[in-house]
Structure 1
Amino acid sequence: MEQAFRVDLRGVVDLLSHHLYGSPRVYVRELMQNAVDAITARRAVDGAAPAQVRIETPAQTGDGSIRVHDSGIGLTEPEVHELLATIGRSGKRDSLGFARHEFLGQFGIGLLSCFLVADEARVLTRSVRGGPTVAWTGYADGRYQVELAADQRAEPGTTVTLRPRQGMEQWMTATTVTELATLFGSMLPFEVTVDGQAVTEPDLPWQAPHASPHDRAAALAGYAEDTFGFTPFDSFDLDCAESGLTGVAFVLPQAANPAAKAGHRVYLKRMLIAESVTGLLPDWAFFIRCVVDAAELRPTASREALYEDDLLESTRDALGAQVRDWLVELSVADPARLTQFLNIHDLGVKALALHDDDMLRLVDRWLPVETNVGRIPLAEFRRRFDTVRYLPSVEEFRQLAAVANAQGLGLVNGGYSYLTEILERLPAIDPDIRVTRLETSELATHFDMVDPEVELALRPFLATAQRALDRLDCEVTLRTFDPPSLAALYLLDRDTQHRAELRATRAIADDLWSDVLGAFDTDHGPDRPQLVLNHRNPLVRRISGLADPRLATMAVEALYSQSLLLGQHPLRPVDTALLNRSFVGLLDWAVHDNPGES
């Protein structure tokens, strides 16, 4: 058997008025919004109709109440029942015209925000269609009553009267109401006054007339200081015809956290919906704060955020393209200023370069990156070297930068945010660009062989060194390379590391998983890292001439430990034990052979 839902009106009013909105302050915005919509509706019928919203605070009323008067279209008694007492129905609103896109919102739900600060809302309204003034009184518990008003309005329009609930008086003081009316309604196209003082401006800040571009830029900078609290690095206009959006973007003068969601000041048909709306710009544009006014974007039910739909997505893409165009134009018109910008906001530009070829070209040409020949743009690096070699971690780069430079190899530090991905994307803008990750095995091929006679004479030492490192799964190699100050270099390429990890996992896995992992262990190349001793280093030459095998072993172990630390490689327990043992052993030898005076 079908039955209708039973609705607790008191619960619905409590839900909408106390949980739909983020703060009691929005009641001023909702009252102004309803008033502006009523004026818009009247002017659609009579273009010469008066357009004014008057707000009276307790300083004027004298009885603690707040009154909002408008010169709008007004309502008849049937319309009062339909619009003010029916929650969730839209059909009648459509026929009356209050659901068209010209209006900020719809009567009914917005009025419920009054119950955030008051237990009772009283509406006096007279329609331009004729009829007497109707009084509607709504209560926070869900009740309402409609009656003919004792005091008839002389002109069409509406007056809303609120008396503060106990404890909410601060929300209706003259200072608070003036601040809120200015915050939400300063850009409204109709005059809004609070206690006789206008709070609206005649022009949007980015559309106000100015004597010169310099004056306009200075005015926008002042607006950013007042609105956001910073003097912008630069500003530029935004627009999107599809969503009826105009506005201005302000570039932050200091680095911003790319993980933080950028909040923007968004107006809907010149009414502020929120001061920190997210999702208006792409995530990579975290260095931008903007103020916009849109005609077609949809707000959420609380009108404190934007509804995520196809129109918002296309608007976001259009605004992102305009941010990108500003960067490209800056690179052409003022390269020095672009360099200044990149020094502040390189992360945002690099994030955009991951997806946009134009921005990738800009990064390639202008953004300085860390290389083993200094901080230079990638384009300059490619002019010096035929191949862009890189290492994906800062630690690897710092270990091998000087060595690679000494061998005549250019090396880029790809360990910073987005840089490895950018380097691998370079062939997208020029197929002739060669980009490769530097493998340690490749670096070793550039080292010089030791003279055969010298190597033959050092075989006993090399055998001793290899025995010392066999238990550490490390190969010992003797080479000559620059810089001579580097005694030894620990080299571990990706393939070797992968094979070592695979075989270590097989050793502790059960039979089933060991067989499965064995299927991947098909590479029979060298499976141990290398400790390359530099024969050009004076210390290595002295160590290789030691006659005491025990002392030579401790010295090689010390070189191995130092190479791990310099390369910031992770230390296994066996490596840590070796480091301690070789250090203590060398100290013991030094003290034993060079005793202090007694």
Structure 2
Amino acid sequence: MQATPLDTQGASEIRRAGVDLNGLMTVLGKHLYSTPVVALRELVQNAHDSLLRRRLEQADWQEAGRIEVHGDPVNGIVRIVDTGAGLTQQEIHDYLATVGVGYTRGLRQAGEDDDGLIGMFGLGFLSAFVLARRVTVRTTSYQQPGLGHCYVSSNAEQYTVSPMPPRAVGTEVVLELHGSYTHLAQEQTLRDILGRYCALLGEPIHIGHDARAINPEPPPWRPQAGVALHPLQAQRRALEFAAHFERSFEPIACMPLRAEGGSDAVGLLWVQDGATYGTSDNRNLSVFVRGMLLDDDARDLLPPWAGFIGGVIESSRLTPTASREDLQRDDIYSAVQHALGEALIDGLVDIARQQPEAWRRILARHNEALLGASLCDDRLFQLLLEHVRVPSSQGDIRASELPSRGAVHVILDSGGGFEEMLFRAMGVPVAHGNRYAVVPFLRRWTEGKGMRLVELGTEQGNRALFQTDTLPEAELAWLQTHLGDGEQLLPAHFSPAELPVVVVPDREAELKRRLEDDENDKRVSMAALRLARQFTARIVARAPSRLYLNLDNPAVQALLAAMRAGNPQAEAAARLLRSLKVIVSAQGRAQDGGAASSDLNRAFGDIAEALQQMLQPR
């Protein structure tokens, strides 16, 4: 190529970029697709578009289209035959043998975009060379029904085109498979692959000479002229369709997706009949673009809270990537994403109203996930606030069953501890705030009901439970010596009066200690650790727990009276009370099994010694 000087100094010149066709063909033919079986989809897509092209251009052709895929496992051959428009010799050169130029794209640009044409990039035919060591195309165009042409190539770079006797109008593509792909010639394998990719195509596709197409039924959202279904029949048909696509679970109930706003997507969503936890993510969504499966794991289109939802949708406006295995994240993608979220919320509301049995199953299977989902949208919260159950010391119960004494009580620790024991004695349920979404749900629920939420184990929560009082310093010192094990002893009044002592862990102090543990430096990023320590720096160093002594308890009153009177049995009584404290507080230390076991053994020993001391004859 001759360089063109741009200035007398020779600083710049214009050159035409070179193209390494061999390298380009290798990249496009062998690395464009994530799995070789996509090649079968691309070739069936070409056959499908050829049928639509013939209907568009040959107005007098009224016959039913047909696509056949034949497998010959003995010889390792797959044939794709269609009754579409066929190709002239010039079209073979212009479209079949030219990378990046497709006849379908030209039709769409000419205004035929809404007629179900799939192809966009002019790359699909290259996929044949992923599978085949040689590709033969025999074709007769409707424009020249008296002429036949045969294209043959082994690498898509060099090819021959020869005249041949005319065949019926249409095209036959013959793949002589590489040895590693001969298994694709099994007709059952072809049926499985194409039954997945081509399930929504409007043109019938037959495997071998099977009279029944692999795509016999239109999806439920496509209207059928003259067919009206009773609502129960429509539900049953939707569930049968969903079961065909749902890989892991039985569908419980279905919800339609309609084209709304900036989204043209239509389809079907369903709730899976499989138990989930709050963080379970079993989302699965198959996306069809113009009837052809593009992505069967498009879960990111569904809301993050919808971990129990499956679906199938189709769109003409979603834009595929060049490999047609993923979607471009553009405005249409965002519009479809929004439409799916709206359809799910509206669908759950309709199921709750119209399908009570299915709604009960959904609540039973996905209660925890729905608890979190309710926080993502006010409509979901209003739907679920009286239905979802909250884990508590009395089992899973509705939020309306939690209030007691004008408040809802929630324990933030995972170990149970004094709070569960205390409220069990009072017959009051305590919500388990360490479980998924419980605390934020209850905060919102109590705010709406005008109630208090008492978070047990925090300073605010303790003030709501314990009314502290005072004792003389000398008495406090004596009690600290005989009852304490490093706790901060606080005289108080609390319910029930039958409970003499309660040990309350200082959860805020525990947080401070954990974050300041040197080992956390290894597990927490320094930026996150600095932010956490800014919070814990406001927590002054204090005892790891508090020992509340119930001044309303008769045994405590008797102990105080014996201590003040100098009764020698006071120490033995205090030892018994201290042992009771250890036994009760050990309930909340399951995570520290060794220490709890040691303390319990010592407490039982102290009980025996105290009884012996008190029973000795005087």
The question of a shared fold, defined as TM-score above 0.5 by the shorter chain, is answered with yes
Q: 1:31 aligns with which of 43, 48, 56?
A: 43
1:592/1:13 CA distance change after superposition, 3 Å = farther
Q: 1:245 aligns with which of 257, 260, 265?
A: 265
1:56/1:344 CA distance change after superposition, 3 Å = closer
Question: In structure 2, how many angstroms separate the alpha carbons of the residues matched to 1:291 and 1:8?
Answer: 41
Shifted more, 474-483 versus 231-240: the winner is 474-483
Q: Percent of aligned positions with the same letter in both sequences?
A: 23
In the TM superposition, residue 118 of structure 1 has moved relative to its aligned partner by 0.9
SS in 2 for 1:168: helix
Q: 1:317 aligns with which of 328, 338, 342?
A: 338
In the TM superposition, residue 375 of structure 1 has moved relative to its aligned partner by 4.6
Tell whether the 8 Å contact from 1:387 to 1:433 is kept in structure 2 after alignment: yes
1:40-59 equivalent positions in 2, closer than 5 A: 40-49=52-61, 50=63, 52-58=65-71
Matched residue type, 1:530 = R
1:161/1:331 CA distance change after superposition, 3 Å = closer
Q: Deviations over 1:326-372 (max 9, x none)?
A: 22233344556534321211233223221211111222222222456
Q: 1:403 aligns with which of 407, 422, 432?
A: 422
Residue 306 of structure 2 aligns with which residue? 285
SS in 1 for 2:549: strand
SS in 1 for 2:267: strand
Residue 216 of structure 2 aligns with which residue? 201
1:520/1:462 CA distance change after superposition, 3 Å = closer
Residue 269 of structure 1 aligns with which residue? 290
Question: In structure 2, how many angstroms separate the alpha carbons of the residues matched to 1:27 and 1:503?
Answer: 57
1:393/1:82 CA distance change after superposition, 3 Å = farther
Matched residue type, 1:386 = G
Tell whether the 8 Å contact from 1:117 to 1:171 is kept in structure 2 after alignment: no
Gap regions ≥5 residues in structure 1: 506-516
1:335-346 equivalent positions in 2, closer than 5 A: 337-346=358-367
Residue 238 of structure 2 aligns with which residue? 220
Shifted more, 439-448 versus 300-309: the winner is 439-448
> Does 1:138 find its partner at 2:150?
no
Question: In structure 2, how many angstroms separate the alpha carbons of the residues matched to 1:500 and 1:107?
Answer: 61
Q: 1:112 aligns with which of 126, 129, 140?
A: 126
> Does 1:491 find its partner at 2:504?
yes
In the TM superposition, residue 120 of structure 1 has moved relative to its aligned partner by 1.5
Question: In structure 1, how many angstroms separate the alpha carbons of the residues matched to 2:589 and 2:388?
Answer: 28
Matched residue type, 1:116 = V
Question: In structure 2, how many angstroms separate the alpha carbons of the residues matched to 1:268 and 1:215?
Answer: 27
Q: 1:353 aligns with which of 367, 371, 374?
A: 374
Gap regions ≥5 residues in structure 2: 1-12, 519-532
Q: Deviations over 1:165-199 (max 9, x none)?
A: 22322111233223333333343212223333241
Residue 174 of structure 2 aligns with which residue? 161
In the TM superposition, residue 240 of structure 1 has moved relative to its aligned partner by 2.2
Tell whether the 8 Å contact from 1:557 to 1:578 is kept in structure 2 after alignment: no
Q: 1:174 aligns with which of 187, 202, 216?
A: 187
Question: In structure 1, how many angstroms separate the alpha carbons of the residues matched to 2:179 and 2:218?
Answer: 39
Tell whether the 8 Å contact from 2:586 to 2:600 is kept in structure 1 after alignment: no
Residue 365 of structure 1 aligns with which residue? 386
SS in 2 for 1:86: coil
Residue 125 of structure 1 aligns with which residue? 139
Residue 414 of structure 1 aligns with which residue? 433
Q: Deviations over 1:467-498 (max 9, x none)?
A: 368783x2223445444664532224556657
1:114/1:542 CA distance change after superposition, 3 Å = farther
Tell whether the 8 Å contact from 2:411 to 2:419 is kept in structure 1 after alignment: no
> Does 1:531 find its partner at 2:550?
no
Question: In structure 2, how many angstroms separate the alpha carbons of the residues matched to 1:293 and 1:27?
Answer: 21
1:392/1:336 CA distance change after superposition, 3 Å = farther
Q: Deviations over 1:64-84 (max 9, x none)?
A: 533222233333444333423
Question: In structure 1, how many angstroms separate the alpha carbons of the residues matched to 2:209 and 2:513?
Answer: 81
Question: In structure 1, how many angstroms separate the alpha carbons of the residues matched to 2:596 and 2:414?
Answer: 23
SS in 1 for 2:165: coil
Q: TM-score scaled to structure 1, two decimals?
A: 0.79
Matched residue type, 2:549 = L
1:423-462 equivalent positions in 2, closer than 5 A: 423-426=442-445, 430=448, 432-438=450-456, 439=458, 442-443=461-462, 446-447=465-466, 462=476
1:53/1:106 CA distance change after superposition, 3 Å = farther
1:487/1:568 CA distance change after superposition, 3 Å = farther
Question: In structure 1, how many angstroms separate the alpha carbons of the residues matched to 2:230 and 2:535?
Answer: 74
In the TM superposition, residue 32 of structure 1 has moved relative to its aligned partner by 0.9
1:201/1:503 CA distance change after superposition, 3 Å = closer
In the TM superposition, residue 318 of structure 1 has moved relative to its aligned partner by 1.3
Residue 305 of structure 1 aligns with which residue? 326
Matched residue type, 2:238 = L
Q: Deviations over 1:32-63 (max 9, x none)?
A: 1011112222322234434523325245x996
Tell whether the 8 Å contact from 1:83 to 1:93 is kept in structure 2 after alignment: no
SS in 1 for 2:137: strand
Tell whether the 8 Å contact from 1:252 to 1:288 is kept in structure 2 after alignment: yes
Question: In structure 2, how many angstroms separate the alpha carbons of the residues matched to 1:274 and 1:522?
Answer: 51
Question: In structure 2, how many angstroms separate the alpha carbons of the residues matched to 1:146 and 1:503?
Answer: 76
Tell whether the 8 Å contact from 2:39 to 2:127 is kept in structure 1 after alignment: yes
Tell whether the 8 Å contact from 1:500 to 1:527 is kept in structure 2 after alignment: no
Question: In structure 1, how many angstroms separate the alpha carbons of the residues matched to 2:557 and 2:601?
Answer: 23
Question: In structure 2, how many angstroms separate the alpha carbons of the residues matched to 1:235 and 1:186?
Answer: 19
Tell whether the 8 Å contact from 1:490 to 1:532 is kept in structure 2 after alignment: yes
Q: 2:481 aligns with which of 456, 467, 470?
A: 467
Tell whether the 8 Å contact from 1:491 to 1:531 is kept in structure 2 after alignment: yes
Residue 7 of structure 2 aligns with which residue? none
Question: In structure 2, how many angstroms separate the alpha carbons of the residues matched to 1:374 and 1:326?
Answer: 29
Tell whether the 8 Å contact from 2:391 to 2:432 is kept in structure 1 after alignment: yes
Tell whether the 8 Å contact from 2:281 to 2:308 is kept in structure 1 after alignment: no
Residue 232 of structure 1 aligns with which residue? 251
Across the two proteins, how many residue pairs are aligned to each other?
A: 572
1:323/1:261 CA distance change after superposition, 3 Å = same
Matched residue type, 1:110 = G
SS in 2 for 1:149: strand
RMSD: 4.5
> Does 1:566 find its partner at 2:564?
no
Q: Deviations over 1:536-556 (max 9, x none)?
A: 778868987684798678667
Question: In structure 1, how many angstroms separate the alpha carbons of the residues matched to 2:133 and 2:335?
Answer: 42
Residue 294 of structure 1 aligns with which residue? 315
Question: In structure 1, how many angstroms separate the alpha carbons of the residues matched to 2:168 and 2:435?
Answer: 71
Tell whether the 8 Å contact from 2:265 to 2:313 is kept in structure 1 after alignment: yes
